[in-house]
Structure 1
């Protein structure tokens, strides 16, 4: 029984060692994204980012990976373009400040965001305000129901 346990442990260690070596030896597969009609860099970043990477970091990393293609204007994307999507590590190391500058056009030599980027930003703000209004209406309705229950004999 003890001999069998030792053998199983050696096999397990060998498997892990082989697996680890194979992972290190295989090159990282570069991901690409084909720009679709209506895409903005913000939308692409949201679609392709890892859960622990912010949209701003992903925007900065995508821009950095594709700066020769995109130039200074992050809105310079067109349907059919193939964008190189950065690895999770590269995206998590990207500067959120750089993305903020890209999006706002302030404090950097980059041009201002395009119409689509501004529309996306406004739509996000509207969506946030709509959610706040719905929450407020729900709270007021609950308060009104409680008040009515106290007043009604």
Structure 2
């Protein structure tokens, strides 16, 4: 069986309406916070990272986590988990990527751009959103 080299695609997570003053970060491969950021007034935060995409589709990369044979997702750490020891929150968002549509993946792997995933950073009660969050996905053109 021939092994296929994955195509690297830039994924960008945009957290709309993050809770002001709360730290958000990606989760590094070793489980630690990576690139922590916070919003002063609720302006969007974004995190970009490479993901290997192979037929199947199969996803790989330092930020890609797995659950079972198919589910792939990315963690966004919040509050204490993002490195802010003084935060009252210690949460993670789970953002699914295994269900990104074939049409978007085809555009992204053919060099048309990266995949942008937007999530709402604030829960209905005003605290940071956590657990598995709903998202919208688009392909953003590659920057010239």
Fold shared, TM-score > 0.5 on shorter chain = no
Which TM-score bucket, shorter chain as reference? Answer: under 0.3
Per the normalisation by structure 2, the TM-score is 0.27
Which structure has the highest helix share of the two?
A: 1
Which structure has the highest strand share of the two?
A: 2
Larger Rg computed on CA atoms? 1
